[in-house]
Amino acid sequence: MSEAVYKILVDWNGDGDFVDANEDITDDVMSLEMNRGRDYASQLTGRSTAGSMTATLENSSGKYNSFNTSSAIFGSILPGRAVQVRTDGGQFPYTFPHFFGSTLWTGFLDKIEPQPSLHNAHRAILRATGPLAKISQKKIDVAMTTDILTSDAVDDVLDAAGWPAGDREIATGLTTMKRWWANGKAITALREIEQSENGFVWETNDGNIAYNDRQFRMTNAKSLTSQATYSDAGNTAYSTIEQADPIREIFNIVDSGVQTYTVGSLAVLWTLSESGASSPLIEAGATRTWVGSYPNASSAVNAASVNAWTTLVENTDYEANSAADGSAVDKSSVLTVTLTKYATSITIQILNNDAAGVYLTKLQARGTPVIAADIARVVTEDATSKALYGERVYPISGAFIPTTDEAEDYNNFVLAIYKDPTPVLKVTISGNRDDAHMMEVLTRDISDRVTVVATGNSGLGINEAFFVETIKHRVDSHMNHWTTFNLAPVGSFAGFWVVGYSVGGTDMMLAY
């Protein structure tokens, strides 16, 4: 029987490391579960979600009770503290030296829930979430950009969300979006970029946010060659295997939309509605802030965003007066105006440098509007698949697919892979069987290619390659370690020909 030794660490003081007192909580951990990857094992319909980690803690001392002032970590049980799980020694430094310090999961503390007991068997549940949860709900506003790679747009979203540049693994995108901007939740912006290229945003085991271009698995070494064989009769044996409904992933009509835009003439895009007797007062030495939005209630129905806001001009875009109705002394020159420009809004800060209060009698923002053209829909179908399985439509939701030519290529790519049924599997492996099994469950990663043989006792009749889409580890109080992999079929992905990687005369279906 093989066992690993684990380290469960929490950066209680938020200093960026796990070396301070009480930050190694391993001795208090009774069991733990952690997972990361897609919400469904499909390269088309599955989306990488925020990972999670749950640990049951021994809490007889009340150490993990946030209101316990005698706790050594009192005042430090705060959401957002870094959490990490890794292997650290055991028999592996002798059998597999490279396992020392192998990271399994990294994320951030969500909460700790004490579970008191009248019999002094006190427990606490620690819950942590992955990097995507950290940025998903952050509101961002990124200015209009033209001719931008999807990967550069991902960087812009992460910058706007405050995610550190050093905690990213961004592959260079293959799609150039003709016009792109972002406004709203960071995760929504990332999903739009992801869908516009058929890329993949995900979390790494060491806590980075990664982006893979659409050809990553056709060029990545661990995706091109099978890294392990999971079998019901030898090799690396699985304990359980499940097959999902293959019909769910059949699509024989692929429908994508291409939205193009034009830039209109310079115009007033936003106006402050308060004027006359209701003109706002700016006290002496005070700064007030207004946010103008576009599109707004008075915009054209096809108004989409702003190509560029102009700098506000005194007595044209703003005016101030010593009287609310503008009938007294013009005070426009005493104002200092500071602008922050976004794709769908402009933030206007106005400082009154006068010794007395002034009234803002006019405020407007001009710019060049971006006008949405009619959406061009591109639909691709497979008649044979429709006859066999009925019409099954997949709508591609990428908002920034640049041209109908690329949309056609995108559609054909999806159709070639998903017009026929393919198996989706879930396999669970016990790492405690022997050293080889433990090495397998601790080293496998998202996007790795593995082979599943299910032609023996399982009777599934499957012997083919799969990509790892989700990894879930479970370690109980007896150090039993089970790992569950959700697997998507390599299938037709193996048939595409990629310039610079594929061998001439083989794999001759051209990838886009």
Q: What's the confidence (pLDDT) of residue 163?
A: 97
Domains for the chain: give ranges and CATH numbers: 4-129 (2.30.110), 138-214 (3.55.50), 253-260+374-418 (no CATH), 262-372 (no CATH)
What average pLDDT is seen over the chain?
92
Q: Which of 54-63, 94-103, 302-311, 370-379 has the lowest mean pLDDT?
A: 94-103
Among candidate residues 48, 26, 128, 54, the one with its CA nearest the CA of residue 474: 54
Rg, the chain, Cα only: 28
Q: Interior CA angle at 123 toward 120 and 128, to 5°? A: 165
Q: What's the confidence (pLDDT) of residue 403?
A: 95
SS3 content of the chain, % helix, strand, coil (to 5): 20, 40, 40
Q: What's the confidence (pLDDT) of residue 384?
A: 98
Sequence-separated contacts (24+) of 335-341 with Cβ below 8 Å: 335/282, 337/312, 339/309, 339/311, 339/312, 341/143, 341/306, 341/308, 341/309
What tokens appear for 333 in the block?
Answer: 């020159």
Contacts of 282 (CB under 8 A, 6+ apart): 288, 320, 335, 350, 352, 357, 358, 359, 360
The CA-atom distances, in angstroms, between 340 and each of 142, 229, 291, 309, 335 are 11, 55, 9, 10, 16
Inform me whether the pLDDT recorded for 496 exceeds 90.
Answer: no
Inform me whether the pLDDT recorded for 92 exceeds 60.
Answer: no
Question: Predicted confidence band at 301 (pLDDT cuts at 50, 70, 90)?
Answer: very high
Distance CA 400, CA 76 (A): 43
Q: What's the confidence (pLDDT) of residue 298?
A: 92
Sheet of strand 376-381, all strands in order from the earlier edge strand to the far edge = 376-381, 253-258, 393-396
DSSP 40: S
Q: What's the confidence (pLDDT) of residue 498?
A: 55
The answer to whether residues 452 and 478 touch, using CB atoms and an 8 Å cutoff, is no
Question: Predicted confidence band at 232 (pLDDT cuts at 50, 70, 90)?
Answer: confident
Q: What's the confidence (pLDDT) of residue 91?
A: 42
Inform me whether the pLDDT recorded for 196 exceeds 60.
Answer: yes
Residue type, 481: H
Distance CA 238, CA 487 (A): 13
Q: Which residues is 114 bridged to in the sheet?
A: 124
Q: pLDDT tens digits for 111-156?
A: 999 999 877 789 999 999 999 999 998 999 999 999 999 999 999 9
CA dihedral 178, 183, 186, 188 (to 10 degrees): -70
What tokens appear for 15 in the block?
Answer: 């200093």
Residue type, 194: E
Q: pLDDT tens digits for 415-454?
A: 999 999 989 999 999 999 998 899 899 999 999 999 999 9
What tokens appear for 45 in the block?
Answer: 């319909």
Q: What's the confidence (pLDDT) of residue 509?
A: 53
Q: pLDDT tens digits for 155-179?
A: 999 999 999 999 999 999 999 999 9
Q: pLDDT tens digits for 452-483?
A: 999 988 889 999 999 999 999 999 998 999 99
What number of other Cβ atoms are within 10 A of residue 440's Cβ? 21
Q: What's the confidence (pLDDT) of residue 458?
A: 85
What tokens appear for 257 in the block?
Answer: 């939309």
Q: What's the confidence (pLDDT) of residue 494?
A: 55
The CA-atom distances, in angstroms, between 259 and each of 177, 180, 289, 380, 381 are 11, 11, 34, 18, 21
Question: Predicted confidence band at 385 (pLDDT cuts at 50, 70, 90)?
Answer: very high
The CA-atom distances, in angstroms, between 348 and each of 248, 345, 361 are 50, 10, 15
Distance CA 80, CA 84 (A): 12
Q: What's the confidence (pLDDT) of residue 349?
A: 98
Q: Which residues is 210 bridged to in the sheet?
A: 169, 202
Q: pLDDT tens digits for 249-297?
A: 999 999 999 999 999 999 999 999 998 889 999 999 999 999 999 999 9
